[in-house]
Amino acid sequence: MKFSLEWLKHFLDTDASVQEIAGALNRIGLEVEGIEDPADKLAGFRVARVLTAAPHPDADKLQVLSVDTGDGDPLTVVCGAPNARAGMKGVLGLPGAVVPANGMELRKSAIRGVESNGMMCSVRELELGDEHDGIIELPEDAPVGTAFAEYSDASPVFDVAITPNRPDCMGVQGIARDLAAAGLGTLKPLSIERVEGEGSPPEIRIDDHQGCPAFYGRVVKGVTNGASPAWMQRRLKAAGQRPISALVDCTNYLMLAFGRPAHVYDLAKLSGPMVARRAGDGETIEALNEKTYTLDPTMTVIADERQVHDIGGIMGGEHSSATETTTDVLLEIAYFDPEAIGVTGRKLGIASDARTRFERGVDPAFLDEGLAILTDLIVTICGGRPSEVTRAGEPPVGPKVIAFDPALTASLGGVEVPQDEQRRILEALDFEVGADWQVACPPRRHDIEGPADLVEEIVRIHGLDKVASVPLPRMEGVAKPTASPLQLAERKLRRAAAARGLNEAVTWSFLPVDEAEHFADGAELWVLDNPISEDMKAMRPSLLPGLLAAAKRNADRGAAGSRLFEIGRRYFRGKDGASDEKPTLGVVLAGEKSARGWAADSNGGKAQGFDAYDAKAEAMALLEAAGAPVDNLMVMGDAGAQFHPGQSATLRLGPKNVFARFGALHPVTLKAFDLHGPVMAVEIYLDAIPARKNASFARNAYAPPALQAITRDFAFLVPADLAAGDLVRAVRGADKQAVTDARVFDVFAGKGVPEGRKSVAVEVTLQPGEKSFTDAEIKALSEKIVAAAARQGAELRG
């Protein structure tokens, strides 16, 4: 939330500096995210008078001005503004000043042969508004030579982060109240001018008492809607609001000053009584953001006899909004149920200032006061005659009383605060403290539920910086490791993945339902009843959708390639509806594997993309880092419908225990995620990897063999559909002591190879033990290898 120092001092009598106020806000739990001082941007600009204005001798649309800056001799300034004339007062930027709108530093320069010593500025150039048709015209009483920042009352602006549990600080007065309680000044009493009404009150009723417990309103006739006064516009701009018109600005001012949203209807566009009711199924409304929304019966609306005019507590409708021609208005001050507001806002995807406040909970006791303040603002600025007030329903203002023990402040808060100071703090925050420490909470403090919350209020106002840092007690001796084997494996995997050039991503655990269903493989999804948004409703059954979305964002921003990994959890419904979480590692390889280059290669110098073998290499390397027995893994098909059937596989230990799946994604999957392929993916199921039998932290001592290994090459004819990995596994198993390695170095099919067969050449490493192999032993091992291969349907080529 943003507000200016000048606006804060409207509610708080204080001489504290900007930095003192910022420090106090941080101490009491209202974090200051930034401070902007407009005076810094306006340095070098001052009030000046145009003494003379003459046509430029060499440019039809330029004038040469003689400008009095209050420093003695007038300055010559070249200006192209059509409203520049002798006698007017404006704002002159002197050499060295930086124009806020474009960052240009002003210098003395010759424009068409005439030296110009600065620039007369427009509203847009100083970022004071959107007007740019001419230079700023100041009133006749503007003092020449005064710094424009001083003249314009430019005030520092605070940007404060308000946590969701503090809706009472969603208005400047609430922040002033907290600062006053913290001793940074005195809260000014709120003076409310009660404007007496005349004439019949408007017809208002409530049909949905659950969604809208209270609805107050009154009519003001004979208003003149124009621009709001400069002081109001200045404060609204400081808060980041764009001034619209006096009527609308008054409602925004009430919301930002007191945290109380309100609404103004053009009375001429209404028909019959205004009713707070549930929307009809399929009813529509064109909202003030110029979007049309379709409503359903779970939503509370404000409507007349003909149509809906307001999505209750979220956004008004365009049809009945106030315009320049509006003369009669209906003022609305209502209390809406926070939970219902949240559900409606998420369904419609509307984020508005009103929703933010109603969803968190506004002050239910501020209806009459809010309506009186709004009426006074409108009558003062726009004129008009207000009617009597209609009050429909009752706001939930029942008192909440908490029995409090002051000793809890020391035991829970960790700081000693005298009892009289505790009482002062609570009373300064509008809590009523009885002699027996029965504390009645103000209705606006929805966050106070028990004694611990009162301790929090006392400690933060007393000063969070006064809570001493106390180390936790620690047992003597060496601390035992607390990380679980899975946590240790995940740490090792992160290092291994990063070492292989992969970038770690952290994506949402929630997905749109359609994306989750695409990767569910028939499993029952976890779908949230109260999601943060409709697009984040299902718990992810796979890590790949989030990584694919990240790869798409990278591609949309011009990234040539993405190498992403994530370690997280997949979520399923287990037996009896219990949550079933699966630790998983996901990898996505998209775009270019290597950029185009001059070197001659099989790709003709073009950029090279990823393929299924790259995905397999990542899967094998990461499985090995996780401690999986990679030498014993089988490569099998059926990676899932999301993968390309001819360019993907699974890695298994036995036919049922699936460790990972890898390969190219199916074109249907790429289309669903709006990606252009090919894209490779890996998913490793960490819970499927068996724990190591030797859990020791120490490695076995490295003992290299004393004798040199020998290699032998074998060329086999095998069925065309036989996986080379199955053949290699069979060869390695021929003699587990002597055969220490086997790898494929050639695959051939064609001339000289029978139909339906292929030639696979395998290099086998034989490692002797205590003595070198004899020729007979090598021959015997070779026969074992050929026999093992034969069991896979292979025969030795002649």
Q: In the numeric block, which tokens belong to residue 288? A: 């003030």
Q: Is 576 annotated as a binding residue?
A: no
Edge-to-edge strand ranges of the sheet holding 31-36: 2-4, 157-161, 31-36
DSSP alpha helix (H) spans, 349-393: 353-360, 367-382
Compute the C-alpha angle 379/381/385, nearest 5°: 20
Q: In the numeric block, which tokens belong to residue 450? A: 């028990």
- Strand, coil or helix: 436: coil
For the chain, the first-to-last Cα distance in angstroms comes to 83
Q: Is 456 annotated as a binding residue?
A: yes
Instruction: Say which residues have a Cβ less than 8 Å from residue 232's Cβ, sequence separation at least 6.
Output: 243, 249, 250, 253, 381
User: What would the DSSP string read from start to end of 298-351?
Assistant: TSEEEE-SS-EEEETTTEEBSTT---TT--EEEEEEEE--HHHHHHHHHHHT--
Bridge-based pairing state of the strands 561-573 and 503-504: parallel
Q: Is 286 annotated as a binding residue?
A: no
Of the candidates 262, 321, 266, 317, the one whose C-alpha atom is nearest the C-alpha of residue 293 is 317
Instruction: Say which residues have a Cβ less than 8 Å from residue 572's Cβ, sequence separation at least 6.
Output: 523, 524, 525, 526, 541, 580, 582
The CA distance from 553 to 559, in Å, is: 9
Single-letter residue type at 94: L
Q: Is 453 annotated as a binding residue?
A: yes
The CA distance from 435 to 720, in Å, is: 92
Checking 125-133 for CB contacts under 8 A at 24+ apart, the result is 125/99, 125/100, 125/101, 126/41, 126/42, 126/45, 126/91, 126/99, 126/100, 126/101, 127/41, 127/100, 127/101, 128/152, 128/237, 133/82, 133/83
Q: In the numeric block, which tokens belong to residue 79? A: 């200006």
State the binding site: 447, 453, 456-457
State the binding site for Mg(2+): 447, 453, 456-457
